[in-house]
Amino acid sequence: MKDRPTVLITGASHGLGLALARLLIEKRRYRLVLTARPSSLFRFGELGIFEDPDLMLTPLDVVDPLSRETAIHNVTVRFGGVDVLINNAGVMTRAVLEHVTEEDHLEQMRVNYRGPMELTRLVLPYMRAQRYGRIINISSVGGMMAMPTMTVYSASKFALEGASEALFYEVRPWNIRVTLVQPGFINSDGFERVAYTGRSFQGHEDARSPYHAHYHYMEAFVAKIMRRTWATPESVAARITRLIEQKRPPLRVSGTVDAFLFSMLRRLLPRTLYHEVLYRALPGVSQWGRTPPDARAERE
């Protein structure tokens, strides 16, 4: 590990990215590049985070090719290059497949999959040249096991995991290590920022929708778990910090206890039993697919 590695964090103005930024600022062992979408960059000042010789704040929209290239160019000019890339920025869309348009699907993939991969591609030449680098991709338990009403989100995280696994083998000869961090439920307001598509919002609001029960029970279940879990953005950030400093970090790391338990469940149970257990454990699943009484009355 270099004495003063340059660490770039995407989506650093809130949530896990912000917790990680604050922790690394306190350590004073890194040159930091904190990024946020142009519209969110002002948040750093409100949070008391300002530029200094070892801290760079720069706008970065991970889905915009020019924004990605400009950000990496500016970091290279100032610090020489990126030694540790933490792809944290992401969005979560709640929708069943029937409520997802092609554009909805592509937008989720652009942010959660293509953005991280394109940023990684831009920093790899520098890492290869110095024969050192760290790529840390923030995945999710949703990249290991899919959840209903999170179809395209799970698809984007599964894609991120597959590409990261391939990359793990490709760049290891140059001492570049790739790690996927899989957080589960985190006690934060993240569930309040989950986006709906136009049709999924209608399905959530309209009790006559065939998928209304799916949205109703899953949303309440996730909110309840996230309010009660012990895991916090700070605890996951501490786990990521240890990965930066680890000489041989593994490919996959559970970011929370529940993510570890889910991974063990997936390994130990026969696949058919595993899916049956999870299906029966879904909140309110006995009500899924039932036609609401008022909808039946309208048809009659």
Which residues are designated catalytic?
13, 139, 153, 157
Q: CA-to-CA distance for 47 and 293, rounded, in angstroms?
A: 50
The DSSP secondary-structure symbol of 25 reads: H
| 149 three-class SS | coil
| Angstrom distances, CA of residue 140 to CA of 3, 39, 255 | 30, 25, 8
Kindly list the strands in the beta sheet with 133-138, ordered across the sheet, starting from the edge strand earlier in the chain.
55-59, 31-36, 6-9, 84-87, 133-138, 176-182, 252-254
Structural contact between residues 16 and 237, judged by C-beta atoms closer than 8 angstroms: yes
- How buried is 59 (Cβ within 10 angstroms: 0-12 exposed, 13-18 middle, 19+ buried)? middle
SS3 content of the chain, % helix, strand, coil (to 5): 55, 15, 30
- Among positive and negative, which fits the CA dihedral 201, 202, 206, 209? negative
Q: CA-to-CA distance for 20 and 241, rounded, in angstroms?
A: 8
CA nearest neighbour of 94 among 194, 8, 214: 194
**Angle 47-246-13 (CA atoms, 0-180°, nearest 5)?**
15
| Angstrom distances, CA of residue 247 to CA of 191, 207, 214, 250, 283 | 34, 53, 44, 10, 42
